[in-house]
Amino acid sequence: MSAGSEDGLDDEPAYHWPIPPAEGWTADDLERIPGLPPHTELIDGSLVFTRPRTRFHMRCMRLLEHSLLEQVPGDLDVDREFTVKLDRRNRPEPDILVFRAEVDLGPDQTWHKPEDVLLAVEVVSADSVERDRETKPRKYAAAGVRHYWRVEQDEDKGLPVVYAYELDPATKSYALAGIFHDRLKLSVPFDIEIDLTAIDRRPGSR
């Protein structure tokens, strides 16, 4: 009996981690590398793997996705955990994004162009603090994504806090548009209001 069988595991070949080329991976390689874990991103030519989502993370995404879908204008749409090909070496996967509905290419589409994305939202996890606070907003801004929200958990209440940023086209950098506790209310990129205290409320319930 093999060691794998003794452990109650099937005798399967060991997984071999992909070895990057000398110049690093490209955005198109995400379509070609076999066996990548779900939600793998490409940052500066390197593969970035994510930890399992926390309940806070998942419920934040649920709240924002449903709220945005209910309030988004007809010429826009919302995707969840969908990649954006910023350039040849960067293809992050925002937790939530709002994009121009006319660029929906059908069920086999796997990424958006940054110029078609109006809003990128990242919910911060323990392993993504630096990426979500520094690396990703810098890259989203440089690529022309007009709005960026960073969502963190309030240490006292355990509720979402949304840091909303708007692109300054002259500097290609983000300016803080507001910090929102309990309730988010903005007029850009469209009129939207979200009760952040409803994170544990089921969609459609009162």
50-100 per-position pLDDT tens digit: 889 999 999 999 999 999 999 999 999 999 999 999 999 999 999 999 999
Dist CA 122 CA 60 (whole Å): 10
Confidence class for position 15, pLDDT limits 50, 70, 90: low
Dist CA 132 CA 45 (whole Å): 17
pLDDT at 3: 47
Dist CA 143 CA 15 (whole Å): 35
Residue 1 confidence (pLDDT) above 70: no
pLDDT at 2: 46
pLDDT at 18: 80
Percent of the chain whose predicted confidence (pLDDT) is above 90: 81
Question: Taking Cα atoms as reference points, which of 104, 101, 137, 110 lies closest to residue 121?
Answer: 137
Residue 16 confidence (pLDDT) above 90: no
pLDDT at 20: 81
Per the model's pLDDT, the better-predicted residue between 204 and 171 turns out to be 171
Dist CA 176 CA 168 (whole Å): 10
Dist CA 66 CA 17 (whole Å): 36
Burial of 168 (0-12, 13-18, 19+ CB in 10 A): exposed
Give the position of tokens 């993370």: 57
Confidence class for position 35, pLDDT limits 50, 70, 90: confident
Confidence class for position 203, pLDDT limits 50, 70, 90: confident
Q: How many CB atoms lie within 10 A of CB 172?
A: 12
Arithmetic mean of pLDDT, 153-176: 96
